[in-house]
Amino acid sequence: GEEVAQTPKHLVRGEGQKAKLYCAPIKGHSYVFWYQQVLKNEFKFLISFQNENVFDETGMPKERFSAKCLPNSPCSLEIQATKLEDSAVYFCASNDGNRWDTEAFFGQGTRLTVV
């Protein structure tokens, strides 16, 4: 598609439940990035992929968070056993990776509320 598509738009989970978020990058884009935005403040980088391979996972919490980008499927970010502090908007972005300074295109985000 011509835009980064994130689903669902809103997700409510009870503490301890699992949350799974999806991202379809722009067609032809080989890099996918996940960011977390808490309370409309700064964006925290979580993880990036080059096609189906993890490119940079330096921001990924060691526990409970996992992500995948499999061929012919939307990328996913999964949070096991959610905590109240996981409440945030999760943004996915993609770029084509053809230039060293290419811009990233962001989706509209998934708002996760943990109650």
Partner 1 sequence: SQQGEEDPQALSIQEGENATMNCSYKTSINNLQWYRQNSGRGLVHLILIRSNEREKHSGRLRVTLDTSKKSSSLLITASRAADTASYFCATGTGANSKLTFGKGITLSVRP
Q: Which residue has the tokens 């978020």?
A: 21
Residues 107, 6: Cα–Cα separation, whole Å: 6
Decide whether 82 or 95 has the Cβ nearer to partner 1: 95
Residue 12 φ/ψ region, left for φ over 0, alpha for ψ in the -120 to 50 degree band, beta for the rest: beta
Q: Mask: binding to partner 1, 40-59, rule CB under 8 A, as x and -?
A: xxxx-x--x-x----xx-xx
Residue 114 in contact with residue 96, Cβ under 8 Å? Answer: no
String marking each residue 68-107 x if it binds partner 1 according to CB under 8 A:
---------------------x-x-x-x-x-xxxxxxxxx
Q: List interacting residues with partner 1 (CB under 8 A).
A: 4, 31, 33, 35, 40-43, 45, 48, 50, 55-56, 58-59, 89, 91, 93, 95, 97, 99-109, 111
